[in-house]
Amino acid sequence: MGENYVTTGIDYFHEEKFHNAIQEWKKALEFIPEDAEVHNFLGIAYHRVGELDSAIMEYKRAFDLDPDYHQAINNSGYIYFLKGDYETALQYFDKALEVEPTYKQAQLNRQKCMEILEGKINISAFELFENANELDSLEMRIKNYRLALEIDSNYVDAWNNLGVAYHYYGYIDSAVYCLNKALSKNPEHPLVNNNIAYLLDAAGKYKAAMYYYQKAILADPDYEVAMVNLGDTYYHAGDYESARTMWEAALKLEPDDVWIKEKFKKLNRQAGEKE
């Protein structure tokens, strides 16, 4: 019975019906109260509806039940991070990394926390940036990213996200400008290199796209998305063997990724048409 409520809650969550998901997972916990994963799910849903204290409580229950549940520990730290309690957040990120030293999300969260504590990121700019990320309106996102950059013109993530927002809005020249500004601040930033490569690929500039994808992967050897995208660029350029090599490397990182498997099907169809 409890598992049925868990599944229904997951369905509601994917439909962004977070209050419904909360109700289903609370029902599930009546049958399986010591299921750490459901408490973590519940914490995530509470976060999505803005009930941060309830989220912290559920995450704590999750890692009390399973002290090695590094995702729940990290999630708890992230809520403290959002609340502006960076010292406490850092303690949780460190604790998550003690359990799982390779957990990338905790590594990234810890890095961001340290940048704020060391004064490398302006708090006001950061708050505008985080608020922008929660907005559905592209126009409002763009406005908030620009406001953040008025406060801190060296804010690489804001330049990157502004560029992505302009891309979705259809302002390609503005997108390229912003991503280049981000690269000028941090030439090795994996996400920025991936994003500018994506625009170059879309423009048919395959050699340039390959260069930036390779930079992204060099900076982050486990960057599965950049590997998939580089494979796409090789495919677009007609280099099917290199495409296969990159997709195979990505599949080793994410063996259950259906998206990558579909690309192999397309590649095999392409080979069949040539025979």
Q: What is the pLDDT of residues 170-195, one digit of tens each?
A: 999 999 999 999 999 999 999 999 99
The model carries a pTM of 0.73
Q: Does 199 have pLDDT greater than 80?
A: yes
Q: Round the average pLDDT of the chain to a whole number and report it.
A: 92
pLDDT at 274 over 70: no
Cα 257 → chain centroid: 16
CATH-assigned architecture of domain 136-186? Alpha Horseshoe (1.25)
Work out whether the CA dihedral 124, 125, 126, 128 comes out positive or negative. Answer: positive
Specify the pLDDT at position 1: 67
User: Lowest-pLDDT range, 49-58, 83-92, 201-210, 249-258?
Assistant: 249-258
Which of 76-90, 114-128, 166-180, 189-203 is the least confident region?
A: 114-128
Which fold, 189-275? Answer: 1.25.40
Radius of gyration of the chain (CA): 21
pLDDT band at residue 271 under the 50/70/90 scheme: low
Identity of the amino acid at 219: A
The kind and range of the H/E element at 89 are: helix 86-99
Domain ranges of the chain: 2-117, 136-186, 189-275
Percentage of the chain lying above the pLDDT 70 cut: 97
Q: Tokens representing 97?
A: 């990394």
Residue entry with tokens 């004064």: 119
In this predicted structure, the answer to whether residue 218 has a pLDDT above a threshold of 50 is yes
Is residue 82 over pLDDT 90?
A: no
pLDDT-derived band of residue 133, with 50, 70 and 90 as boundaries? confident
CATH topology of domain 2-117: 1.25.40
Residues in CB range of 257: below 8 A, 6 or more apart: 224, 250, 251
* Confidence category of residue 258, pLDDT binned at 50, 70, 90: confident
Q: What is the pLDDT of residue 198?
A: 97
Between 60-74, 120-134, 195-209, the lowest mean confidence (pLDDT) is in: 120-134
Distance CA 24, CA 74 (A): 24
Query: What pLDDT is recorded for position 275?
Result: 43
